[in-house]
Chains A and B, each alone.
Chain A
Amino acid sequence: MDEPTLIQRAVNGDVTAWEPLVLTHQQAVYRLAYLLLGDPDDAEDIAQETFLRAWKYLKRFDATRPLRPWLLSIASNLASNRRRSAGRYFAALTRAFRDEPITTATVEEKNSQHTQADDLWKAVQTLSTPDQQIVYLRYFLDLSVTETAEVLQVAEGTVKSRMSRALEKLRHIIKQDFPVLVEGHEA
């Protein structure tokens, strides 16, 4: 059964039609929430809330449009709101004490793909929330420019210009704080 048909059934109150749609998109939604919040429990809360809210407002969704950008848009807004809450501050503080200092990592660990990704994530986290969103959507979740524009509710041209600016800032941060990521390319 295709997505618009499942959506239509879900609009009519069929929970069993909503379940496969959640299964299809839950990973992308969860991962975006995790990238934005950095906490698996929070990401799960946000992912659940995303699908519950989407269910509630489904009749207002244009079923001819793809569902994933809309879901990611909801998740992004919910995660951003959560980040702004006082709880995030304390959670981040707790994590900061829990995390091991970067300097303790060995050279071998630094060379591993996962550690590189983790360092990239740390670098992205220093960007503004809008810049983080665009980097996560385009490069971590591999969304197209069109999909990213739908998630962020901006024009494709805006996505391209914002992406370019975000990458420039990211390049500067990496060069300064995580040079190992571009070692061999930039002196």
Chain B
Amino acid sequence: MNEMEFENKVRSIANGMEYPRTPNIAGSVTTRLRTRTRPRFNSKALVWSLTIILVLCSSLMLIPPARAAILEFIQIGVVRIFPQSVEPTVAPIQTPAPESFVPVTATSSSQSSNLIPILNQMAGKTTLVEAQDKVEFSILLPAYPSDLGQPDYVYVPNADGNMVILVWLDPQHPEKVLMSLHFIPNGSWAIKKVEPKVIEETKVDGDRAIWTTGPYPLIFPNGDIQFERLINGHVLIWAGLDVTYRLETDLSLEEAVRIAESLEPIP
């Protein structure tokens, strides 16, 4: 049996699969949306899992190092944050970055005037349309502020993943970055974010989000890229369904959340 015959056989057998009758998902979902009740999990397995998790967590909390790790560890999407001086769980950078990727260097306020050359050195510079073609997730743009417009720079670094970076320049000071928005898809990039000075919990669209202030050494698990911020401001991190978002801006928390909640697909 060649590959195609085997494939056809598998498909033919799979077509005979007997499934349980599909329950009335639509009715349940719409009822829950209308009543806005908390999700109801009725499976015994979930009850068991919650019980076991509770027992495990309780046991771990009795061990001081484990308790410390649990308490000091915050995860938002693929971004992991250590509020205190905790060693990152990845090896320090040992291998050089791929030639196609120029690491973004941190920009302090005194370096802002030199930012544009740095942006020009970043790998993966592209257009919004091309970027959307390269990635499977939807690239979203802030609808707020209404006069923001499209980003001035778009990057798809394509180093072991399809992260997208959008950069807007400050119209009053075009040599400075107004804000940058990073789209980090699940499964391709995992970032360890270490020792921010300030961490504040907030909400984006009702979901937990983190508002931090640097320093921001971000180390990728492949160990070859150190990625630091573009702006001497704050970073808002929140997770969507399949993408973690990272908004760098020197605007206020309220403004940053408003921008985050205004994200919409490219018109």
Contact = CB atoms under 8 A, between A and B. Distances in A.
B45 A87 contact: yes
Nearest to B205: A56
A34 B30 contact: no
Given A52-B33, A149-B136, A185 B3 contact: no
A23 B26 contact: yes
B50 interface: yes
Given A118-B18, A170-B10, A22 B52 contact: no
A18 B52 CA distance: 36
A154 B136 contact: yes
Interface string A49-72: 101111111011111110000000
Interface string B40-55: 0111111111101100
Contacts of B28: 48
Interface in A29-61: 29-31, 34-35, 39-45, 47-49, 51-57, 59-61
B63 interface: no
B29 A51 contact: yes
Given A140-B17, A153-B136, A153-B185, A186 B263 contact: no
Contacts of A121: 17
Given A42-B43, A48-B32, A181 B11 contact: no
Contacts of A88: 45, 49
Contact of A86 (B33, B49, B140, B185): B49
Majority SS at the chain A contact face: helix
A90 interface: yes
B32 A135 contact: no
A99 to B, nearest CB: 15
A26 B22 contact: yes
B203 to A, nearest CB: 13
A18 B26 CA distance: 9
Contacts, number: 175
B26 A135 contact: no
B62 interface: no
A167 B29 contact: no
A85 B54 CA distance: 12
A12 interface: no
Residue among B25, B39, B205, B264 with the highest chain A CB neighbour number at 10 A: B25
A162 B81 CA distance: 33
Given A52-B39, A61-B138, A45 B6 contact: no
A79 interface: no
A61 B204 CA distance: 16
A61 B265 contact: yes
Instruction: Say which size band chain A's interface belongs to.
Output: 35 or more
B29 A48 contact: yes
A167 B263 CA distance: 40
A122 B237 CA distance: 41
Nearest to B262: A59
A22 B264 contact: no
Contacts of A116: 13, 16
Contact of B241 (A15, A18, A74): A74
B49 A87 contact: yes
Contacts of B20: 34, 40, 43
Nearest to B46: A87
Interface of B: 1, 3, 5-7, 9-11, 13-20, 22-23, 25-26, 28-30, 32-34, 39, 41-50, 52-53, 56, 136-138, 140, 185-187, 205-206, 240-242, 263-266
Given A64-B265, A87-B45, 17 more contacts: A18-B29, A41-B45, A45-B46, A52-B33, A59-B264, A60-B240, A60-B265, A74-B241, A87-B46, A90-B52, A114-B17, A117-B14, A117-B17, A140-B14, A153-B242, A185-B5, A185-B9
8 contacts: A16-B30, A26-B22, A31-B22, A57-B205, A61-B265, A77-B242, A135-B10, A150-B136
